[in-house]
Each structure stands twice: as structure tokens, then as C-alpha cells.
Amino acid sequence: MAIDMTQFYQVFFDEADEHLAQMESLLVALDLTAPDMEDVNAIFRAAHSIKGSSGTFGFDDMMEITHVMETLLDKVRKGELALDTERVDACLRAGDVLRTLLGAHRGGQAADPAAAALIRDRLNALCAGEGAPAAASATPLVAPPAVSAPASPDDAEMRSLEVRFVPEPHVAGQRELMSNMLEELARLGSVEVLEEPPPDAQYGQWRLAMCTRLSEADLRGVIDFMAEPRSVVILARSDAAAAPPASATAEAAYGFFAPRPAAAEAEVEVEAVDEEAAFGFFAPLPAVAPPAVPAEPADAASAPAKVKADSSIRVSVEKVDQLINMVGELVITQSMLQQSASQINPVLFESLMSSLVQLERNTRDLQESVMSIRMMPISAVFSRFPRVVRDLSQKLGKQVELKTRGETTELDRGLIERVADPLTHLVRNSLDHGIESPEARRAAGKAESGTITLAAAHKGGSVVIEVSDDGAGLDRARILATARERGIVAPDSLSDAEVWALIFDAGFSTAKEVTEVSGRGVGMDVVKKNIAAMGGRVEIESMLGVGTRITVRLPLTLAILDGMSVRVGGETYILPLNYVVESLQVTRDMVHSISGADRLIRLRGEFISVVPLGTRFGVAQAQTDWCAGIMVVVEADGLKAALFVDELGGQHQVVIKSLQANFRRVDGVSGATIMGDGQVAMILDAPSLVSGARRRLQSVA
């Protein structure tokens, strides 16, 4: 019965993504003056794994590229080729093309064959030691390399050999390819097949008896082309009986790349293979002869086999989101039970109250455990920047070193995916505008190589990400001049923080000329909007000639919010705590009017616009006397406003529900939650309320 391989596509896509990311990070980190061969071997294994699995699934375009890349890396490992910038660039470009092909296959679309052919030819040329793409087409995948036979029978002695090897997965399933190889070997000497796997087996060992004048290296070169790496064993016929099978040799070298031998009758210790890492769980077990197992003592034979299980599993994001949503509903139900139980006599129902306390504790622990499932280390984002810095610094002719700290800091997966673009803008901006050219740095008494530092840490209930550089810093005078040219009111009395905030204005740029990297003023305003949409904020510190530090503060998760409840009339609203500065009752002398209407309060010498929530949302019976209610001062995007409410509630950890998905978008509201009494409470959008207050104040001023 044919196996539907499409059911395993997602595993392949995930594995290939991981291998490509690993290859890129290792390639960028390689020291070309003294490359670490362990890293080169790791890159080789990643390429080999992609080649084998893509061949299994029939993605020949990916298989052909990784095959040539594997050949190039193998020559580097053997010392036949030197690793230089051009070869590393070609491998990085091949990774980009492979990622594009992978995306096309993932979406069921046709991939671009021209890009694949171009990088394949470039790799082939570099394999041959050339610096430009070869004019001829790429070498066919299954054609063995040419081997020069001895010029005459006297050149070498005829030898009797036994050859053992395990074909690669994409070769083993096509017997015509094996036949072609046997015909090629027959032209180099006599060949007899001693052992071969069954016709329907995808994996298995081949044993050949050969009489040939070829050297072992030349013979290995023919077979290596189609065999699993390091699975080829060539022995004199007299030594063949005592040698381990080729499958055992391959497994010792690669583990998960090689086929697994059948279990012997005697009990042995079995080590579980990380099957997902090599697409192995859907590959059938090979039908090969088991290796010899030494006899065990009687007491050892009765001991159970030890199996090491994999420590992680793959779960789709949709399932995790569904689980989080269900736990959120459980939290709401527990709050409703707690609210109902608060009205009964705790003395008469002591057992019930004790059970509810235990339920609350278990629910909180369950919620924290489930939320941790969705948390990911921020290294998933940081890992892409070495490549960005490398490519961009080469393009700009600058020398830049990237340093990272706090890569293990965890952040919600939803935020991980959304924070990547803003951080990319910040890193590119630091590299283009911040770091000076080597000549300028040398003239300023600095080291020619600049430094960009990415750091992340948990602080309070937020994640703080810093992008800093030791470059030229922000030029206050130049920013003010540019702002005035654009018609922005920018007096000299502005504080440094207010001046730095001007660069977030749409279309603002101090670049003298537009390049493909920057100069159009469409980067920093996007950063600010994207960060604000995630409930975060951006802060800038800079010193001319010393450098710049940009700090991004984000909530830990988008699913749960620490908030403060406020009452307005008969309505309850939730205000995110990370925006709250303080709350107070004002006196009449603190209230100031504009055009005959109360608009501002004066707090410690600072005028703050007021947003009466009752008027803003049309709440009946809301308090109108500013001196009788409460002012809650909030700060967003460097601006402050005071929200006028009837009274404060308490602090709550609420589960966020999308209002737009269940109702429609409401201005000034970012979401909703269900309180313990079953009432729906709106979650206020503090940045929107603050910016709206500023616009209304400017319209009447």
C-alpha cells in the first residue's frame, strides 16, 4: 500500500526551517582565518539532512542545491578547498534560495527555477575552484565523478575487495540509479553483488565483491557520490569477515542519518534516536543483517531495556491557543464562583470556602503553566541579526561587531513574531545612521570597528529590549532644523527626550541622501506604531559622539493583562497598569479652563489635559464634578493625560478577549474581559485616549 507522504510535509517544513536557521547562524559566525571544523561539520550535516529529506519528498530543486553545497562543504572539510568570503556568501545565498523554495512548496506554489539554477551553477563553479559561475550546466545529480583508470595493466596490482555501503534515501528507492552505478563499477573491474536489500525497502545495506586495479580513494569517490556519508567500508576480502557492517559505521558517525539495524535476539540497551531531527519517524526500518551482539550474563539478560525518550514534542500554535483560551474561560469561571461564594457565611460553609481557595490556587498555577507553553526565548529573533549586520556592513563599507545579551529572555510567541520587524528597523538605523565609517571613527579617536548591542531582560511585568551603538549619536541641532523645515513647531526649549521623539514623526529623516537602506523617513514611525500596537513603548537616550540607546518595553504576553478597574456611572472599565502613573483627587485651584470650559489640571507645574470617561463614552449618571471624582494620570508615547472616573476598583489580572472579532472596533477600547460577576468590562486603549485628548486640546487652543 502506497504511503501518502503529504501527511509528513509539515514535519519536513519545520525541520528544514530549523536546519536553514542553524546553517545561517553558523556560516555568519565562522572565523575565515581559522574556521572551527566542528561548525563546518555541523553546516555539512544540516545541508545533508535537507538534501535527504527533500529527496524523500520529491522536492528535487532543493535536493540539487543542497547536494552541490554538501559537496563544496565536504571539500572544505577535507582541506581540498579553502573557506573564503565568496564561498560563505554563496552558501548564505543558497540558504536564501532554499528558504524561498521551501516557502513555495509550503504554499503549494511553483518555485522559481531560474534562481535555483543560478545558485546551483555558482556553487558548482566554486566547487571547481572557480570564482564565477560555470558556463556549462550543473552536473547531473546521479552521474558519478570521472575516475581516471590506470594507463596500463602494469600501473597497479589487481586487488580483491569487499565493498559495503548504505545508499542515500532518494537513491535507494530508485533501482535504476543503483543499476547505473553497478554498470559504472563493472567498467572499472569485475563486480558481484553479495547482499542487497529487498526491492521494496527504502533503506538497506549493499555488499559487493570487486576485483579492480583502482585505488581505495578512487573507488570510494565513485560510491560516495550516492551513499550515505561515512557509510562506505572497503576491505580486503580476507579482512571482510571481521569488519562491522556499513550501516553500523554510518550510525557511529552520524547516528540519525544512518539506517537503524534490526534488533538482535539478545536484550541490548536501546537508545532512542531524535527522529524528528532527521525525518526518521516516517522512514521504515531497514532490512539489514543485525550486528553481532556479545553474549550477556544471565542476570543482565533479564534486565529491562532502557529507552531514552525525546524530551520535547511538536504542537501546532492553534492547539496551544485553544488550550490558553480554555484556561482563560476556566479562570473566569473560578472568579464567578469566588464572587458568588463571597455572599455566603464562611463559618457555615467552611469546607466549601477551603475548596474554593484551593481551586483558585490550582487555577492560577495551571494558568501560569499553560502561558509558559506559549513563551519563547527571544533568541528566535536575535538569531537573524548577525546576517543582517554582516550583509549591511559590507554594503555600507563599515566594520561592525554585533553583541547580544539576554537571549534566553522569554516572550509571548505572538509578540516574538511581531517584534522582529521593529527591531530590524532599529538595527538597520543604528548601522546606517549611528555607526560611522572606519575613517570617521579613526578621526574621532575611536576603534575602526563599531559595536551594536542587542540586550533583553525581564523588568517588572515587562520585557525590556535595548538596541544600542557606540556611533555618532543623535544631533539635536540637526533634528530641530529638519523639524522646522517640515513645519513642525520645535522651540529650543524642548527637552532632549522631546527632541529625540521627533524622529518618530512620519516622513522624518535627517539623511542627506536617499539610499536603498534609508533616507525616506518611513522606518521609525512604523517602529513606534508597531510597538504601540503591542501595548509597548519606545524610549531614546543619546549623546553626540558617544552613541545611542533605544529601549523597547513590551508586555510579557498579549493574552493576559494586569489592569486596574475603574467605575464610571454603572460601567466598569479596565485600565492597563503599565500606562498608569498615579491617581489623585484634585482641588478647584488645580483646574484650568480654555475657551470657558474645563480642559486641564495643573500638577506639580505641569499642565495635563483631562479625558472625562463618562462624556467620552456617553455613560449615563457619570460623575461630572472633577473635584468629587478621581483623576488617573496615564502616560503613553511620552505624553500624559488624566482620565476622570467616578471611583477606583481593584487590581485584576484579566483574560483579554478581542472586541473586534466578536463585535466591532470601538475607538478608545482595545479589548474586553469578563469580570468575576459575569459583567463584561471594556479594556481601555490608553495611547488612543491620550492622543485624542491632545488633538482636542489643540483644536480649541
The mean pLDDT value for 389-399 works out to 88
Q: What pLDDT, on the 0 to 100 scale, is given for residue 50?
A: 87
| Rounded average pLDDT over 598-624 | 89
Angle at 364 between CA 361 and CA 369, to 5 degrees: 125
Residue 523 banded pLDDT, cuts 50, 70, 90: low
Is the distance from CB of 580 to CB of 587 less than 8 angstroms?
Answer: no
Q: What pLDDT sits at residue 585? A: 92
| CB contact at 8 A, 597 and 615 | no
Query: Of the spans 296-310, 315-329, 511-525, 642-656, which averages the highest pLDDT?
Result: 642-656
pLDDT at residue 38 in the model: 86
> In the prediction, which pLDDT does 243 show?
53
Write out pLDDT tens, residues 337-381: 888 888 888 888 888 989 998 998 898 888 888 878 878 888 888
Where does the pLDDT of residue 521 fall: very low under 50, low under 70, confident under 90, or very high at 90 and above? very low
What is the reported pLDDT for 258?
A: 38
> Residue 561 above 50 pLDDT?
yes
User: Which domains does the chain possess?
Assistant: 5-127 (1.20.120.160), 142-261 (3.30.70.1110), 317-374 (1.10.287), 377-555 (3.30.565.10), 560-700 (2.40.50.180)
> pLDDT, tens digit, for every residue of 182-230?
777 777 778 888 888 876 666 678 888 888 887 777 777 677 767 776 6
Q: What is the pTM of this model?
A: 0.57
Binning pLDDT at 50, 70 and 90, where does residue 417 land?
confident
- Looking at per-residue pLDDT, the higher value among 10 and 397 belongs to 397
Q: Is the pLDDT of residue 310 over 80?
A: no
Q: Are β-strands 560-568 and 647-655 bridged in parallel, bridged antiparallel, or unpaired?
A: antiparallel
pLDDT at 120: 87
CA distances from residue 609 to 119, 288, 497, 523, 626 in whole angstroms, order as listed: 60, 80, 20, 30, 13
Segment 580-588 shows an average pLDDT of 92
Element (H, E) at 165: strand 159-165
Please, what is the average pLDDT of the chain? Answer: 77
At residue 7, the pLDDT reads 67
CA atoms within 13 A on the CB side of 383: 15
Q: At what angle do helices 37-57 and 60-77 cross, to 10 degrees?
A: 160
Residue 527 to residue 628: CA distance in whole angstroms: 40
What is the model's pLDDT at position 59?
Answer: 84
- Low-confidence winner among 173-182, 305-314, 529-538, 586-595 (lowest mean pLDDT): 305-314
Q: Which residue has the higher pLDDT, 108 or 521?
A: 108
Nearest to 430 by CA among 517, 532, 538: 517
Residue 250: band (very low, low, confident or very high) from pLDDT cuts 50, 70, 90? very low
Beta bridge partners of 104: none
User: What residues form DSSP beta bridges with 607?
Assistant: 602
Alpha carbon of residue 373 to chain centroid? 16
Mean pLDDT of 228-235: 78
The residue among 677, 679, 658 whose CA lies nearest residue 669 is: 658
Among the listed ranges 50-64, 437-451, 561-575, 628-642, which one has the minimum average pLDDT value?
A: 50-64
Has residue 306 got a pLDDT over 50?
A: no
- Closest by Cα among 307, 289, 183 to 241: 289
Which of residues 498 and 137 earns the better pLDDT score? 498
C-alpha cell at 77: 572539510
Picking from 49-58, 221-230, 575-584, 656-665, which range would have the lowest pLDDT averaged per residue? 221-230
Q: What does the DSSP 8-state code read for residue 145?
A: P
CA terminus-to-terminus distance, the chain:
80
Name the grid cell of 16: 528544514
Percent of the chain with pLDDT over 90: 14
